[in-house]
Amino acid sequence: MSDKLRLCEVSDVKEGEPIQVLLKQMPALAVYKVDEEIFVTDNLCTHGNAMLSDGYQEGDVIECPFHGGSFEIKTGAAKAFPCQIPIKTYPVIIEDNWVCIEEPEQVS
């Protein structure tokens, strides 16, 4: 059974302003609000060494700040060149006004 990881309070996430969350046991994460819904993805661009939370969010698309490639926030799909590899997305759980994700199972 996995536990939930608390990322941030729901009120911290603003439409069009992704935030970075750093947890010791996870890669850097980005939390987004799109049409009043919360989404979580890996924060590191799959094309270059850039944090997506430093990029430009328009609707459900996040543009990488380095080369202008982009991803669909809801699915992680690469949307614009040079990005070709999708980013990982995480199912979001809202619990007690906190944005949470399931803690991944430890591989032994």
CATH number assigned to the domain comprising residue 83: 2.102.10.10
Burial class (CB in 10 A: 0-12, 13-18, 19+), 69: buried
Q: Please tell me the distance from the alpha carbon of residue 85 to that of residue 54, in angstroms, as a whole number.
A: 19
- pTM, two decimals, is 0.93
Tell me how many domains the chain contains. Answer: 1
Across the chain, which has 108 residues, the per-10-residue mean pLDDT values are 86 97 94 97 94 97 94 97 96 97 73
In a domain? residue 64: yes
In a domain? residue 55: yes
C-alpha 56: how far from chain center: 13
List the Cα angle 70/91/101 in 5-degree steps: 110
Residue-level pLDDT at 106: 63
Q: Please tell me the distance from the alpha carbon of residue 54 to that of residue 58, in angstroms, as a whole number.
A: 13
In a domain? residue 53: yes
In a domain? residue 6: no
**Residue 7: closest CA among 107, 75, 93:** 93
Residue-level pLDDT at 1: 41
Residue-level pLDDT at 25: 83
